[in-house]
Structure 1
Amino acid sequence: MEKDALAPNVEDLYLESYAFTTAAAIVGSVDRKIFVLLRDGRNLFGILRTFDQFANLVLQDTVERIYLDNDKKQPEPQEDGSIEQKRFGQAYRGIFMVRGENVVMMGELDIDREDDHLAELQQIPFEEAEKELEKSHAETIRNEKTRSKQFLAKGLINDFVKSDLY
């Protein structure tokens, strides 16, 4: 077989080696496990089955996970001497369609290491995690309203939107 003089290493050029700035960049992640962060702060983990030009995604075997951080920078020891762990709750969601406009971040997961960090976290019921997250979001909204008023008093604007809680 004769090599092309204009493209001698054409066999080394794969679709994934090009830097796409459109939804086409997602093509290499089809049929792989991915993580998706949504504008409302939800974390989804699932297998990407398909997508379209608007970056609408269809995930299979989707799990929604909520991570709850300790409010304090240095957690204090509890009565039994143990240190309060960061917590998480998760729920199986099955097939999940995500509108592209709601995607903040997406990335592939290493399936051999994807759950390693969960060993350091305490699992709690998903409903409990959801209630705590709602409280946290309500507090964030309250704080941002106060901040917006302070900015406005100084002639500035704050671009916080209630749906952007990530």
Structure 2
Amino acid sequence: MEPYLPGTASLIEVLDKKLMVLLRDGRTLIGYLRSIDQFANLVLHRTIERIHVDKKFGDIDIGVIIIRGENVVLCGEIDAEREANSKLERVSVDEIFELQRNELVNKMEKEKLKMKEGFSLGNCLDFLDDY
């Protein structure tokens, strides 16, 4: 059994492995961990930004990137076998940008409708329809 490594020292075990990093601004980065420091700052190599919309995704090549530790929300190793068997559909960058834009427009239209309807008890209980 390996000894427990506290804090950022535990990232030493995943050096040179493929990681997924979720940032505070909601972006998802995938790349190979090349370096870390005591502040959990990360250096990723062969990095991509992955954008998900429903069951589709697109990848934007970034290359080498330094991520400030305070911006990391979640960090985990990628299982290559599970990634290869994913049910998500890869699309072009242009297509994923278009899907992302449409999703944002739809969300904004829904918010406008909510603002027009105003506050009512019926509106507050709409979330129960999902259950």
**Fold shared, TM-score > 0.5 on shorter chain:** yes
Instruction: Compute the TM-score of the two structures, normalised by the length of structure 1.
Output: 0.57
Distance 1:124 1:50, change over 3 A: same
Higher RCO (CA < 8 A, seq sep 6+): 1
User: After TM superposition, where is structure 1 displaced by more than 4 Å over at least 4 residues in a row?
Assistant: 134-138
Deviation at 1:94, TM superposition (A): 1.1
- SS in structure 2 opposite 1:94? strand
Deviation at 1:44, TM superposition (A): 1.2
Structure 1 residues 2-54: Cα deviation after superposition (integer angstroms, max 9, x where no partner): xxxxxxxxxx5x3xx3152x211211111111111111221111110001111
Structure 2 distance, partners of 1:100, 1:127, is 30
Aligned length: 111
Structure 2 distance, partners of 1:108, 1:123, is 20
Structure 1 residues 49-98: Cα deviation after superposition (integer angstroms, max 9, x where no partner): 001111111111112111111xxxxxxxxxxxxxxxx2111122111111
Q: Which has the higher strand share?
A: 2
**Match of 2:4?**
18
Structure 1 distance, partners of 2:104, 2:39, is 28
Question: What is the alpha-carbon root mean square deviation over aligned residues?
Answer: 2.4
Structure 2 distance, partners of 1:137, 1:95, is 29
Structure 1 distance, partners of 2:82, 2:62, is 21
Q: What are structure 2's unaligned runs of at least 5 residues? A: 120-131
Instruction: Compute the TM-score of the two structures, normalised by the length of structure 2.
Output: 0.70
- SS in structure 1 opposite 2:62? strand
- Asked if residue 127 in structure 1 is aligned to residue 94 in structure 2, the reply is yes
Structure 1 distance, partners of 2:50, 2:72, is 15
**Match of 1:110?**
79
Structure 1 distance, partners of 2:76, 2:84, is 15
- Asked if residue 93 in structure 1 is aligned to residue 62 in structure 2, the reply is yes
Give the structure with higher Rg (CA).
Answer: 1
- SS in structure 2 opposite 1:49? strand
- Asked if residue 43 in structure 1 is aligned to residue 10 in structure 2, the reply is no
Q: What are structure 1's unaligned runs of at least 5 residues? A: 1-11, 70-85, 151-166
Calculate percent identity across the aligned residue pairs.
41
**Match of 2:15?**
30
Structure 2 distance, partners of 1:41, 1:127, is 19
